[in-house]
Amino acid sequence: MAAKFEVHRVVTREEKGLFILVGAMVEGMVQVGMNATLEGGEGGSFDAPVHSVEFVEGTGGETEPALTFHYRDPAKLGRWQAVAWEGRALRLEY
């Protein structure tokens, strides 16, 4: 089973060690534990398991899906934050 997620914005909760990608499901369904990889080799790389799936309030009051990823290493967070995320797609697979 595979899914695709388009990233609209990034949120970090450093006090909880969470990196959050907010966006939209393009195809399929996402589940906790699926491995997420960034499609397209330009603009950085990303490879991590989904920690949780949440819904957050968007700028217009609508709810948007958000995928959370747990990290412990600040260097990993730095690499993730360096990616140009807006409009990029994640491939999600078991």
Would 75 be classed as within a structural domain?
A: yes
Q: Per the structure block, which two tokens stand in for 85?
A: 């995320």
The structure's pTM equals 0.92
In the chain, the number of structural domains is 1
- Tell me the three state secondary structure of residue 14: helix
Structural domain containing residue 21: 2-83
pLDDT of residue 68: 98
| Alpha-carbon span 25 to 42, nearest angstrom | 21
Would 88 be classed as within a structural domain?
A: no
Q: What is the pLDDT along the chain (94 residues), one digit of tens a residue?
A: 799 999 999 999 999 999 999 999 999 999 999 999 998 766 678 999 999 999 998 778 889 999 999 999 999 999 999 999 999 999 999 9
CATH of the domain at 31: 2.40.30
User: In whole angstroms, what separates CA 67 from the centre of its chain?
Assistant: 5
pLDDT of residue 51: 98
Would 17 be classed as within a structural domain?
A: yes
Would 43 be classed as within a structural domain?
A: yes
Alpha carbon of 31 to those of 38, 43, 59, 61: distances in Å? 17, 26, 25, 24
Would 56 be classed as within a structural domain?
A: yes
